[in-house]
Structure 1
């Protein structure tokens, strides 16, 4: 009786293992199929380097803290953030790279403004015209816009090509020279004070100084820092419209003109509550933003309101300039602002 029952169970386990043995042999051919997903990853290289982009692979600029008062950070080399891979500086206090175009007081790109209240907005103006950026009793800043007509839109693509600044009975001019092919080793910056051209050696740290005004090269070419004692500080960089930018934004830029323009960062030391202008109004005492929030590209209008007759004219409708220092509270220029990203959600404290 026992021998008869034992032979019957073994046949079933023997027959079942044989199918699995044949099936595992077939999967090895299909295993190459997961490799096809690699070709799709080869499409992004036009925008991103194939492996996860490292700072050097992405061509990001590396910058250093140059302030010896911060020994924990001095000389330390850091990579620019992805938001400004080719243009940034180190905040030696926090020992981190920062984009000047993402801080309050910035005027960059297709003019993208970050107001004193920290809100980001665009003001397009019109090409080949001048507009008042800041107007107060002791300072007036106009910007000359260059641009290109977009046939599919009702406006021009515009950029700030130069600024004219009136202060202390003086006239300061900062401009970007027209150029076709961009070469950052060639200086395309123009500077003049009271109609006299200012010449600086093409060396980082070279400076010119006169009557409380100091102009210093922040790199060998195309970038300066300008400070008028007790009044303002400006960081100005000449930049081109790159081929990549032209394709992404459909600017239609050709090799005949790269539309060299200024990226600007302003800091003010002595503004009154009545200050006005495209940027200046955002530092005003009772200013409430007029831009439509919650949209991808909040745009500020008012072409006529801010239009000036020339680069040094203080005749815009909102002009406040008298050439005299204001005796009112300077609270607006002493606001301390902190931002998360791109100037949105900024908190300002006096």
Structure 2
């Protein structure tokens, strides 16, 4: 009996001092990017694609952003693209830069592939094609309201719909009365079925029958959607704040804060025939019709780019047709670093200025 008591006491002592992070069984240590509060050498990436500009080169992350996926969502990440001109890594936030090329934010304000900032208002509760190419279709659903005495709707992008190959994907912001940063307001579908993505920074979902991935860039309300070889999209859900409402006189009701998406697209492959509200601005020789130097340069085209639903490609100018895509259309040469350009200046406040070309 004496030895049995000693054995039990010893066992309890071992349990009391067990590693609280072991989970009951030994396992591989978490990757450096998942460990907060620790410093590691900058990460390196080897470009092994013989078709890339930087083939055969090791690209190192700079000290300012040593990690591809930093543990803190507030830290800048290291971005490496083996098709970049200088074969150098750059530091970027993983959330949308609303002043950068490919952005669509606010009451929708876009920055086109030509570097020109413009507004496209669309219409409340209707859908419009942002990008339509032979192998990729991206639509947006607009929400909004018309304040008393105004002649048009104030609108925001509430959802995005993607079509590629035979697949569909969508993400949307829920309707919510009172905004709480700690409550996730994103909903997803894949191939027309609801999709649950676990909350938590760096939580990732990958499709089993395509290359599509979705990664959370914060505990909630922020993601990066990747379709390798086609596009990367950073998305953030935000409300219309009381300050925005006061400044712009939106007359936001008390039961809806109009949660909407801030988005930035990084296109990796577009054809010279690409269409869409945003897509057309990437075409070579595109002559942007918006007025320069005005407070709100407006891009028309509602009649050309309106679709019947979030996941349809039936607008007048839509060209999505994956079954007929033979790759014969010339691809555009896209500089991935251009997404870091800030398309504003102190003098213009971003009013229709050109950042490149």
Q: Same fold (TM over 0.5)?
A: yes
C-alpha separation in 2, matches of 1:233 and 1:325: 23
C-alpha separation in 2, matches of 1:319 and 1:201: 34
C-alpha separation in 2, matches of 1:271 and 1:325: 14
Counterpart check, 1:327 vs 2:328: yes
**Is the CA contact 2:96–2:263 (under 8 Å) kept in the aligned structure 1?**
no
**Is the CA contact 1:118–1:345 (under 8 Å) kept in the aligned structure 2?**
yes
Secondary structure of the residue aligned to 1:333 is: coil
Query: C-alpha displacement at 1:152, in angstroms?
Result: 2.8
Counterpart check, 1:173 vs 2:170: yes
Query: C-alpha displacement at 1:89, in angstroms?
Result: 6.4
Query: C-alpha displacement at 1:151, in angstroms?
Result: 2.5
Query: C-alpha displacement at 1:95, in angstroms?
Result: 4.8
Secondary structure of the residue aligned to 2:316 is: coil
C-alpha separation in 2, matches of 1:200 and 1:99: 20
Number of the residue aligned with 2:354: 345
Secondary structure of the residue aligned to 1:305 is: helix
* TM-score, scaled relative to structure 1: 0.73
Deviation per CA, 1:171-225, whole angstroms, max 9, x where unpaired? 0111001000000110000111101222122110110112211110000000110
* TM-score, scaled relative to structure 2: 0.71
C-alpha separation in 2, matches of 1:96 and 1:205: 16
Number of the residue aligned with 1:49: none
Residues 201 and 340 (structure 1 numbering): CA distance in 2 closer, same or farther, change over 3 Å? closer
Q: Which consecutive unaligned segments of at least 5 residues does structure 1 have? A: 1-64, 77-86
Residues 234 and 89 (structure 1 numbering): CA distance in 2 closer, same or farther, change over 3 Å? farther
Q: Which consecutive unaligned segments of at least 5 residues does structure 2 have? A: 1-38, 45-60, 68-72, 79-88, 345-349
**Is the CA contact 1:269–1:330 (under 8 Å) kept in the aligned structure 2?**
no
**Is the CA contact 1:138–1:168 (under 8 Å) kept in the aligned structure 2?**
yes
C-alpha separation in 1, matches of 2:217 and 2:285: 35
**Is the CA contact 2:167–2:190 (under 8 Å) kept in the aligned structure 1?**
yes
Residues 178 and 264 (structure 1 numbering): CA distance in 2 closer, same or farther, change over 3 Å? same
Secondary structure of the residue aligned to 1:345 is: coil
C-alpha separation in 2, matches of 1:136 and 1:186: 35
Secondary structure of the residue aligned to 1:100 is: coil
Residues 264 and 88 (structure 1 numbering): CA distance in 2 closer, same or farther, change over 3 Å? farther
Deviation per CA, 1:215-273, whole angstroms, max 9, x where unpaired? 10000000110101211111111110011110011011122100001111111111100
- TM alignment of 1:261-300, pairs within 5 A: 261-300=260-299
C-alpha separation in 2, matches of 1:96 and 1:333: 18
Deviation per CA, 1:316-342, whole angstroms, max 9, x where unpaired? 111010013633332253465363543
Instruction: Give me the CA root mean square deviation.
Output: 2.5
Deviation per CA, 1:45-88, whole angstroms, max 9, x where unpaired? xxxxxxxxxxxxxxxxxxxx997442512479xxxxxxxxxx98
C-alpha separation in 1, matches of 2:169 and 2:92: 32
- TM alignment of 1:116-195, pairs within 5 A: 116-195=113-192
**Is the CA contact 2:141–2:160 (under 8 Å) kept in the aligned structure 1?**
yes
**Is the CA contact 2:76–2:91 (under 8 Å) kept in the aligned structure 1?**
yes
Number of the residue aligned with 2:19: none
C-alpha separation in 1, matches of 2:218 and 2:137: 27
